[in-house]
Amino acid sequence: MAKLIVSDVDVQDKKVLMRADFNVPVKDNQITNDNRIVAALPTIKYIIEHQGKLILLSHLGRVKSAADKAGLTLKPVAQRLSELLNQDVKFIPVNEGPELETAINNMNDGDVILMENTRFQDIDNDFGKRESKNDPKLGEYWASLGDVFVNDAFGTAHRSHASNVGIAKAMEAAGKPVAAGFLMEKEIKFLGNAVENPVHPFVTILGGAKVSDKIAVIDNLIPKSDHILIGGGMAYTFLAAQGHKIGKSLFEEDRVSMAKDLLQKAGDKIVLPVDHVVASEFSNDADHEVTSGVEIPEEMMALDIGPQTIKLFEDTLKGAKTVVWNGPMGAFEMSNFANGTLQVGKALGDLQGATTIVGGGDSTAAAQQLGIADKLTHISTGGGASLEYLEGKELPGIAAISDK
């Protein structure tokens, strides 16, 4: 069923709560890639131009202890957004209480404020992970601050958290509108087409570091995909499941039995690395070499796929008509381990007449770094979210938006 969109709702003079996904890479309080902020601009500008009072919420990173807070403040995002909008975006260093409420009550139409990282609620109180465990009281509190809720955080849509699902339920219960933003609308349109009418051969490429998060999606992608190429940090749990030596490579022991089951179920659909670039430590300065085969020496870690694997992946990609890529093939931020991601990205960009979809913060950054972004059909702002969507799952963040 079609979802309510922000343009269906009257936002003039209204306090508009908008959940965005501003989970951008930040190093030393500097944003290193602002894609997700730029992607939210159409909705933000629409609300400003239509004289809403815009109150932005987002998470940033995974907040596990008070020590994480200094590096995960949203303050740099407010600054970047001010520059992009050419208008002041007021940063509120809390996300609950009188300071926030006063700032909201003092807003004029067209003003924008951004409250502090919603995941600070996971550690700042005596009630446990209020944001990530979707404490209904927190959703109700945030909902009480506004008249309209707009969810534009596609990248977070696979999470059922207080700031996307809890707030939406509380708004709806209070008879207030819950609408999708334009980014959410665009993502659903593109990915929906890929799920409903995938032209075969359909190839899924998986990599990156969020092994336990993303391994489960493979189960549902097996029947949809003709081939599943697995590289990056994701690959070594699978190679270990096959009994190979993986040295000090990224490995999640409690996912080995799942990897075994998936390998059995997928048969030869799953294609794993056959050689690697290995290093003594996770550093661009570390000694590194290419292995002669699949086995990884005990004291080394694999940080990229090797040349034979690149060839194997390129060959498997030939003739593909739909390709979904999530997660880099290696630690591509370090130049010595970027080649696998570069070559696989190039192969993707060179495909003729294919629908190519890349998802995830790091994968998108890689595609841009490689200069292939323009050659891809769709760059999704969601990594895990796009994968779960492509699995055919109903994402909780989307389900909680009102139907038209």
Ligand X SMILES: Nc1ncnc2c1ncn2[C@@H]1O[C@H](COP(=O)(O)OP(=O)(O)O)[C@@H](O)[C@H]1O
Ligand Y SMILES: O=C(OP(=O)(O)O)[C@H](O)COP(=O)(O)O
Interacting residues toward ligand Y by CB under 6 A? 21, 23, 62, 155-156, 159, 360-361, 382-384
CB-side exposure of 342: number of CA atoms within 13 Å?
13
Residue 21 marked ligand-binding: yes
Smallest distance, ligand X to C-beta of residue 151, A: 20
Q: Which long-range contacts (CB under 8 A, 24 or more apart) does 370-376 make?
A: 370/341, 370/342, 370/345, 370/346, 372/345, 372/346, 372/348, 375/348, 375/349, 375/350, 376/348, 376/349
Q: What is the binding site for ligand X (CB under 6 A)? A: 207-210, 232-233, 250, 302-303, 326-328, 330-331, 333, 360-363, 383
CA 143 to chain centre: 24
Q: Which is nearer to ligand X, 148 or 294 (CB)?
A: 294
Q: Which does 233 bind (CB under 5 to 8 A by kind): ligand X, ligand Y, none?
A: ligand X
First and final C-alpha spacing in the chain: 8
Q: What angle do CA 50, 382, 24 make, to 5 degrees?
A: 75
Pairwise CA distance, residues 44 & 29, whole Å = 23
Residue 187 marked ligand-binding: no
Q: Which is nearer to ligand X, 109 or 391 (CB)?
A: 391
Q: Which does 52 bind (CB under 5 to 8 A by kind): ligand X, ligand Y, none?
A: none
Q: Which is nearer to ligand Y, 24 or 100 (CB)?
A: 24
Cβ within 8 Å of residue 333, ≥6 positions away: none
* Dihedral of the alpha carbons of 34, 35, 40, 42, in degrees to the nearest 10: 110
Q: Which does 177 bind (CB under 5 to 8 A by kind): ligand X, ligand Y, none?
A: none
Smallest distance, ligand Y to C-beta of residue 293, A: 31
What sign does the CA torsion over 359, 44, 122, 70 have? positive
Residue 19 marked ligand-binding: no
Residue 182 marked ligand-binding: no
Q: Which does 303 bind (CB under 5 to 8 A by kind): ligand X, ligand Y, none?
A: ligand X
Residues serving a catalytic function are 36, 210, 361, 384
Residues of each annotated binding site for ATP: 214, 333, 360-363
Residues of each annotated binding site for substrate: 21-23, 36, 59-62, 119, 159
Residues of each annotated binding site for (2R)-3-phosphoglycerate: 36, 119, 159
